[in-house]
Amino acid sequence: MLAQAGRPLDIALRFLDPATQPPGAAVGELHVGRYEDAAALDRFVAGLSHVTFEFENVPVPALERVGRSASVFPPARALAEGSDRLREKAHFQRLGIPVAAHAAVDDPASLAAALATVGLPAVLKTRRSGYDGKGQAVVRTEEEARRALATLGTGLVMERLVPFTRELSALAVRTPQGEVRMWPLVENVHREGILHVSRAPATGLAPGLEEAARGHVTRLVEDLGFVGVMALEMFEEGGRLLANEMAPRVHNSGHWTIEGAETSQFENHLRAGLGLPLGSTAARGHAGMVNLVGTVPPLEALLALEGAHVHLYGKEPRARRKLGHVTVVAATAAERDRRLAAVERLVAGR
């Protein structure tokens, strides 16, 4: 999607991916190689002016190596700050961004301490390399917590299970000169830890909530000297926002911006990184996005839905894998929801 956004601007992309058939191969030059392979990194970066990433498990040393000869955005520091959930939460708190009660868990003693301070129900998560609900377990009893510790191992964080009203994400883009723009707040529904549906602009926001979100994400990108697109995932609970995690990259909850905003997150990410003027982040109406996870309905059926914009990533189907998404845009939230419901029925096989 980055390459597709770059094409009309004459910005060509080259991809480094350890997989031999990644989606990027269809839209740009592919280098197959491991992020830990110095020679592969050097071949990849030769002749490039800029390097970015859209996957958080890229090792920081790989970015540092390519950063010797190309300009890397977002900064590697953002990746490092977000790569450990405990460090990330401490960072949020330093910036005055509220988070749910949590504690480090490494062994039975720290588990007992966490149970006392955080309470139940809670979520136990691995501090590193978890995504899409991987490496986490909801625990409702002390026995479940002990079992989760045995399964997940060490290096965990226990968080209070937040009985949120809804999940919201703030998507913002920052230029090297410090201009920050935010897309309208996005409302997200997850299933089994994977983003299922996004709606934007989020409706029925309490007064001040959007401004609070803008304040949080702006402080975050300014503190990091960030360049490019950042997503801040939050819970809305009792009219306030609690930060869950940041994604220092173009994010799934911003996929709707391709058709639903004046400028997509992908285009503004490239514009920011290359020092070009940003485009408007205003919504073009009411957008909704449904992820195609695990299986894809027949293309004919998807395209028969009025107003459906279909994006298939060309990935091998596998359980829990994001294989594509469908976006709908409408003049009203009610019409958007009708179109979304039709896509969801098809995706659910109904």
Please give the residue ranges that form the binding site for ligand AMP (CB under 6 A). 100, 123, 130-131, 133, 159, 161-162, 167, 190, 193, 233, 244-245
**Rounded to the nearest whole angstrom, what is the least distance from the CB of residue 218 to ligand AMP in the complex?**
21
Element counts in the chain: helices (H) and strands (E): 12, 17
Report CA 70 to chain centroid distance, whole Å. 25
Residue 249 or 339 with smaller CB distance to ligand AMP: 249
318 φψ region: left (φ > 0), alpha (ψ -120 to 50), beta (else): beta
Helix (H) or strand (E) holding 156: strand 156-160
Residue 231 or 292 with smaller CB distance to ligand AMP: 231
CA dist list (Å): 132 to 80, 193, 329: 19, 5, 26
Residue 167 or 267 with smaller CB distance to ligand AMP: 167
- The DSSP line for 176-244 is TT--EEEPPPEEEEEETTEEEEEEESPSSPPTTHHHHHHHHHHHHHHHTT--EEEEEEEEEETTEEEEE
**Rounded to the nearest whole angstrom, what is the least distance from the CB of residue 309 to ligand AMP in the complex?**
24
Structure tokens at 37: 């392979």
**Rounded to the nearest whole angstrom, what is the least distance from the CB of residue 126 to ligand AMP in the complex?**
10
Residue 132 or 344 with smaller CB distance to ligand AMP: 132
For the packed helices 108-118 and 142-152, what is the interaxial angle rounded to 10 degrees?
130
**Rounded to the nearest whole angstrom, what is the least distance from the CB of residue 173 to ligand AMP in the complex?**
21
Closest CA to 18 of 76, 79, 52, 59: 59
Residue 244 or 327 with smaller CB distance to ligand AMP: 244
Structure tokens at 315: 């990935």
Residue 187 or 267 with smaller CB distance to ligand AMP: 187
**Rounded to the nearest whole angstrom, what is the least distance from the CB of residue 194 to ligand AMP in the complex?**
8
**Rounded to the nearest whole angstrom, what is the least distance from the CB of residue 65 to ligand AMP in the complex?**
28
Rounded to an integer, what distance in angstroms lies between the CA atom of residue 344 and that of residue 297? 11
Residue 147 or 190 with smaller CB distance to ligand AMP: 190
* Burial (Cβ within 10 Å: 0-12, 13-18, ≥19) of residue 244: buried
**Rounded to the nearest whole angstrom, what is the least distance from the CB of residue 233 to ligand AMP in the complex?**
6
| Residue 345 neighbours by CB under 8 Å, 6+ apart | none
**Rounded to the nearest whole angstrom, what is the least distance from the CB of residue 125 to ligand AMP in the complex?**
6
Rounded to an integer, what distance in angstroms lies between the CA atom of residue 131 and that of residue 317? 18
**Rounded to the nearest whole angstrom, what is the least distance from the CB of residue 168 to ligand AMP in the complex?**
11
**Encoded amino acid at 227, one letter:** V
Please confirm whether the linkage preceding 248 is cis (ω < 30° from 0).
Answer: no
Q: 284 - beta bridge partners?
A: none
Residue 131 or 313 with smaller CB distance to ligand AMP: 131
Residue 154 or 165 with smaller CB distance to ligand AMP: 165
